[in-house]
Homo-oligomer: A and B are copies of this chain.
Amino acid sequence: MKEKFDRLMDILKDASNLGNAAAVLSWDQQTYMPPGGAEARAEQLATLSKISHQMMTSEESAKLTMDLEPWISTLDPESIEALSYKRLRHEFDKMIKIPTELIVTFAKAQGLSSNAWVKARNESNYELFRPHLQEIVDLMKEMITYLGYKKRPYDALLDMNEPGLVTDEILPVFQQLKDGLVPLVKYCCAKDNQPSDAILHGDFPEKAQWDCFTEIVRTIGFDFNRGRQDATEHPFTTSFSANDVRITNHIAPEFLASGLFGIIHEAGHGMYEQGIPVEYEHLPIGGTSSAGVHESQSLLWENVVGRSLPFWQHFYPVLQKHFPDNRNLKNNNAEAFYRAINKVTPSLIRIDADEVTYNLHIFLRFELELEIFEGNLDLKDLPEIWNERMYSYLGIRPRKDSEGVLQDIHWSEGMFGYFPSYTLGHVLSVQLYELALQEHPSIPDEIAAGQFGTLLRWLNKNVHAHAGKYDSRELIRRIAGGEIKAEPYLNYIQKKYHAIY
Contact = CB atoms under 8 A, between A and B. Distances in A.
Interface of A: 13-14, 17-18, 20-22, 24-25, 27-28, 32-37, 39-41, 43-44, 46-48, 50-51, 223-228, 230, 240-241, 243-244, 281
A153 B357 CA distance: 77
Contacts of A244: 33-34, 36-37, 40-41
A407 to B, nearest CB: 31
Contacts of A41: 240-241, 244
B44 A17 contact: yes
A224 B36 CA distance: 9
A21 to B, nearest CB: 5
Contacts of A39: 241, 243
A281 B40 contact: yes
Interface centre among A25, A227, A281 (most CB of B within 10 A): A25
A228 B51 CA distance: 29
A37 B150 CA distance: 42
A241 to B, nearest CB: 3
28 contacts: A14-B51, A17-B48, A18-B48, A18-B51, A21-B21, A21-B47, A21-B48, A24-B24, A24-B44, A32-B32, A33-B244, A34-B224, A34-B225, A34-B226, A34-B228, A35-B225, A36-B223, A36-B227, A37-B240, A37-B243, A39-B243, A40-B241, A40-B243, A40-B244, A40-B281, A41-B240, A41-B244, A51-B51
Given A24-B28, A25-B21, A25-B24, A240 B44 contact: yes
Given A14-B51, A34-B224, A41-B241, 13 more contacts: A14-B50, A17-B48, A21-B47, A27-B28, A34-B225, A34-B227, A35-B225, A35-B226, A36-B244, A37-B243, A40-B243, A40-B244, A41-B244
A281 B36 CA distance: 14
A274 to B, nearest CB: 9
A18 B50 CA distance: 11
A35 B17 CA distance: 18
Contacts of A240: 37, 40-41, 44
Given A24-B24, A28-B28, A51-B51, A17 B36 contact: no
Contacts of A14: 47, 50-51
Given A21-B47, A24-B28, A240-B44, A36 B228 contact: no
Nearest to A29: B24
A24 B43 CA distance: 13
Interface centre among A24, A27, A51 (most CB of B within 10 A): A24
Nearest to A48: B21
Contacts of A25: 21, 24
A4 B289 CA distance: 46
A241 B29 CA distance: 14
A267 to B, nearest CB: 14
A272 to B, nearest CB: 16
A240 B230 CA distance: 21
Contacts of A22: 21
Contacts of A51: 14, 18, 51
A39 B24 CA distance: 15
A206 to B, nearest CB: 15
A27 B31 CA distance: 14
A30 to B, nearest CB: 13
A44 B28 contact: no
Interface centre among A28, A51, A241, A244 (most CB of B within 10 A): A244
Given A51-B51, A228-B32, A21 B44 contact: yes
